[in-house]
Amino acid sequence: MLSILYTEAENAFRDEVRSFVEREISPHAERIEETAEYPRDLLRTIGQAGYMGAMISEEYGGTGKGLVAETIIAEEVAAVCPALDVARGVTSVYFAPPVLKFGGDEQKRAFLPPIVSGERIGAIGITEPEVGSDAARMKTRAVRDGDHYVINGEKRFITNGSQADHILLFAITDPDVKAHKGMSTFIFDTKTPGFSVVKDYDLMGMRGLRVSHLKFEDARVPAAALLGRENGGFKILMDELDTERTSLAAGAVGQSRAPFEEAVRHSVEREQFGRPIRSFEGVSFKLADMATKIDAARLLTIQAARRIDAGLPATRQAAMAKLFACDAAQEITYDAVQITGGDGYTKQNRTEQFSRDARLMSIGGGTAEIMQYIIQREIYRERGL
């Protein structure tokens, strides 16, 4: 199946990434789950191996392989350690590509190489205490003061927030117009006075991840921190989201794989009523549905990734990939726990962990309901209706 979906070079790249993950990531996955330790050392290891820069050109330290390669990396890392992949993706997919696309040469040279190498951590600051999917109601303000901007506001549920060296921060610079015309983007250095971490949230799953509430109080940043033009931030935000959602969909595919494989193994080894439980259709039909959902999710993901790599519009395709893959991940991990029974509900079986981790995927990066809204909107737009 994969040889049909991917080129020979892409299949070889997957084998390369999978070997790396098995060698360098797998031995640490259980420790991250048990201790909830933020995996900064592993992010550096991933960067040094060249897997943080698939979306970044070689000129700035990346590989320039594109989004299809990024989805391969996301799937393989998430299949072993979902929290690590989310932390990696926020840095290498959410933060770095907008800097590459909209930044000046000086910004690119200053920020991209250390991000790609894994030496620095990135985050993206959109969500606020009263603003989630409705980004147009953003309240964080940035006021020009000579050669600086003074930033005030709060952001919450910011992945990597307390660990980030730099935040791609969205703020209102012109409050007298609608937000999509008065929003700007800044490359914010977290060493800036006036920046503070209110707290890290204690999450249901994704142990090891840091999701934070952040505060900006008269934080002065140089005008050179502005990414793109003033009041041009909404365009950057919309451009970033399609790539983000496609990467999240790939991660969801990876999160589905490990529980599925565990359920298959268990169905063969576990016997009841004198035979393996695979012989009962209540089990085997669940496995058939799980396998179908994984393949369908991967197909939707690669469709979106190839369109983006080709420079084609992919808003609908990215939303469809994220909606289906993330919902499927929840369904697959739930069924994996059901098939593995009492064993699957224990901490000794990773299906329990993956079922908690997968629950985030239909919330972060745009809820399932927002994806449905985007899909129906694009259906009508494509038809001029």
Q: Among 357, 367, 368, 366, which residue's Cα sits nearest to residue 94? A: 366
Residues 113 and 150 placed together within one structural domain of the fold: no
In terms of C-beta density within 10 A (0-12 exposed, 13-18 middle, 19 or more buried), how is residue 101 classed? middle
How does DSSP classify residue 209? -
CATH code: domain of residue 274: 1.20.140.10
pLDDT at res. 2: 63
Spatial CB neighbours of 350, under 8 Å, sequence gap ≥ 6 = 258, 259, 262
Q: Do residues 133 and 256 both lie within one domain?
A: no
Residues 136 and 263 in one domain: no
Which of residues 181, 205, 231 is at a domain's end?
231
Is there a single domain that holds both residue 223 and residue 358?
no
pLDDT tens-digit series, residues 343-354: 989 988 899 999
In this structure, the answer to whether residues 267 and 165 fall within a common structural domain is no
Residue 273 phi/psi, 5-degree rounding, is 55, 35
Direct distance between the N- and C-terminal alpha carbons of the chain, in angstroms, rounded to an integer: 37
Is 281 found in the same domain as 151? no
- In angstroms, the CA 378 to CA 11 distance is 32
Give the Cβ contact number of residue 51 at 10 Å. 28
Phi, psi dihedrals of residue 382, rounded to the nearest 5°: -60, -25
Question: Whole-angstrom Cα distance, residue 198 to residue 201?
Answer: 10
**Which of helix, strand or coil describes residue 366?**
coil
| Final residue of a structural domain among 72, 90, 120 | 120
Alpha helices, H only, 188-314:
233-269, 281-309
CATH code for position 62: 1.10.540.10
350 with 275, same domain?
yes
State pTM to two decimals.
0.94
DSSP state of 77: H
Amino acid at 289: D
Cα separation of 220 and 151, whole Å?
6
266 and 325 fall within a common domain: yes
Q: Residue 275 carries which side chain, given as an amino acid letter?
A: R
Q: Which helix (H) or strand (E) holds 382?
A: helix 368-382
Using alpha carbons, select from 194, 232, 201, 233 the residue that is nearest to residue 215: 194
pLDDT, tens only, 293-322: 999 999 999 999 999 999 999 999 999 999
One domain, residues 318 and 254: yes
Q: In this structure, are 299 and 369 located in the same domain? A: yes
Decide if 221 contacts 193 (C-beta within 8 A). no
Give every residue of the chain whose pLDDT is below 70, as ranges.
1-2, 133
| Burial of 310: CB neighbours in 10 Å, binned 0-12, 13-18, 19+ | exposed
Residue 56 has a pLDDT of: 97
Task: Indicate if 224 and 267 belong to the same structural domain.
Answer: no
> Rounded to 5 degrees, what angle do the CA atoms 80, 308, 138 make?
85
Q: Which of 61, 93, 120 is the last residue of a domain?
A: 120
Whether 169 and 219 map to the same domain: the answer is yes
The structural domain count of the chain equals 3
On whether the CB atoms of residues 328 and 287 are closer than 8 A, the answer is: no
Range of the domain at 326: 235-382
- CATH code for the domain in which residue 192 is found: 2.40.110.10
